[in-house]
Amino acid sequence: MTKAADKKTLPLNLIFDYPVHWSKYKVLRDFVQNFYDSIGHKKWHKSFTYTYKNDVLVMKAKNVSFSYEWLVHIGASTKRHSDTKYAGYFGEGFKIASLNAVRDHQWQVFAKSSDWRIEVITSDLIIDDKKLKSLAYELEKQNFTKNTSLEIRNIFVSPGLIDTVMLSFYYEENILLGEKIWEGSNGVIAKRSAAPLPKNYIATRGFGDRGIIFASFQALGTINIPLVFCHHTFKKGDRDRNGLYDFDVVQLVESLVGYISPETSFVVLEYFKRYWHTQPKEKYDLTSFHGIISTLLSNLRKSPNCVKKFLEKYPDLLATHRITRNDIVNINRRSQALSWKKLSGKKYLLVQEGFEKLGYQRLENKCESEGGFTIARLPNKLEKKYIQILEQCTYEVFDDFFGFKQLPECKVIDNEEAVWKGMANCFKRAVRRNNYGHELRYTMNYVALTYSVFNKNSFANAYSTYLHELTHVFGGDASANYSRALSDVLEIQLQYSHIIVKYALKWSKINKS
């Protein structure tokens, strides 16, 4: 029997109402982390055991012992001066976890190692005549043991929660990991096993749960790729966060794949196939997989043999580059090239611009080499009559609103599969304003309308499309300048509707002779 004199209370100077509140999951994870860091991932499966029965959880580590003093001071950690990689570091996990366990969840916590045993309790202290409660340990000596154990009583949690905690650490025997693809000093990439993720397993919002992200040996996120990425040296920016944000996941994966070989990059790149055409939504898109794909492609290029095999396996890829919404010329070229691709009869797959460096052609270049841009032809005799009416009406109603002394040539889109009714071949110009105060930003050498609008019943369709294309002298479809100018185009049409009706009548009387 232990004598009372063999026991002593060790105040931790951690006030009981210290404003930090952890969930049961996080408390358990931090308790397990202390064992994990002491054992290491290579010996974890053999050295660590646990039992859960009658609301008592007991965790044990074989051949691990240390002084209780490491559990007393905030910031004290057995791994402070070690070069080994750990899941934790700050030396506060056990203390804060114990505080939350005892105070918020009413658990009883006991730990023993070496020649000591402690129970987490509270003690009273006086500060400025005010009585406060502090977290403390009741310490007693025991016979020496080379093992360490932690016992939590009255835990009242589901076995599923404990399983989730145990599977949130990286070790080769973790049932969530499948076949290993790559391993280096900085981490591991493996396939996802068929084992389902435990309920409430940590996940990254919007990134699916097919794959798992381990950062510094802890599962802190997920990804919509059936792979497991374990980056042993990656630290999240805010250590108080439980998991990784989407941009953290992208940063971690991009960093990790930077270490892998061309052969491994080939394998991983295929897992990302659905994202090969990923383009940043804006200049700095931190959640895009574009950078991950670029890094894998860069790795692949280091091996001519890998490049050759890739080209042979995927011969029908066409690269595209990002186009800004105000780049009217290239927007038009892209539209035409996509139409050509649709009609080509081949199942081309669009990919990001990085694939060009493997030897793939750009979409627009392939379209041009195949004659795909020659879809706007000169009008025939009948079409010229209709075009003349469009031009006469525009001169009379709009005067110099569009900034042209002479309207651009009008061609015909002779393509039944075309996805647009009209297009404008635009070029940047020195900006000036028209009489309505709108900036004229582009000029054009021709516009084109689909052949289907040139019939006696399609004046409204033809004229609205014609004016839409001319209005691109003010900007792209999404630009504010274009929208403002288009509003005035509509207002002018209403103001001079009687003139437009006159030309509509002329249009309807054109015959084919």
At residue 241, does pLDDT exceed 90?
A: no
The model's pLDDT over 319-360, given as tens digits with 9 standing for 90+, comes to: 999 888 777 778 878 887 888 898 888 999 999 999 999 999
Q: Tokens 């991009």 — which residue?
A: 254
Domain 376-508 fold is Zincin-like (3.30.2010)
Q: pLDDT band for position 90 (50/70/90)? A: very low
**Mean pLDDT rounded to a whole number for the chain:** 89
CA 160 to chain centroid: 29
Q: pLDDT band for position 258 (50/70/90)? A: very high
Q: Residue 105: its pLDDT value, please? A: 96
Q: Residue 79: its pLDDT value, please? A: 46
Q: Residue 5: its pLDDT value, please? A: 57
CA 176 to chain centroid: 22
The model's pLDDT over 185-205, given as tens digits with 9 standing for 90+, comes to: 999 999 999 999 998 899 999
What whole-number percentage of the chain has pLDDT above 70? Answer: 92
Beta strand 177-184 with 187-192 is antiparallel
At residue 127, does pLDDT exceed 90?
A: no
Q: Which residue has the higher pLDDT, 88 or 320?
A: 320
- Intervals of CATH 3.30.2010 along the chain: 376-508
What's the CA angle centered on 245, arms 244 and 248, to 5 degrees?
75
The model's pLDDT over 420-476, given as tens digits with 9 standing for 90+, comes to: 678 888 888 899 999 999 999 999 989 999 998 999 999 999 999 999 999 999 998
- Distance between CA atoms of residues 110 and 326, nearest Å: 66
Mean pLDDT of 301-310: 98
Q: Tokens 């860069």 — which residue?
A: 298
At residue 82, does pLDDT exceed 70?
A: no
What's the CA angle centered on 36, arms 35 and 38, to 5 degrees?
65
Q: pLDDT band for position 179 (50/70/90)? A: very high
Number of neighbours of residue 371 by Cβ within 10 angstroms: 9
52-56, 360-364, 368-372, 462-466: least confident range: 368-372
Mean pLDDT of 137-143: 93
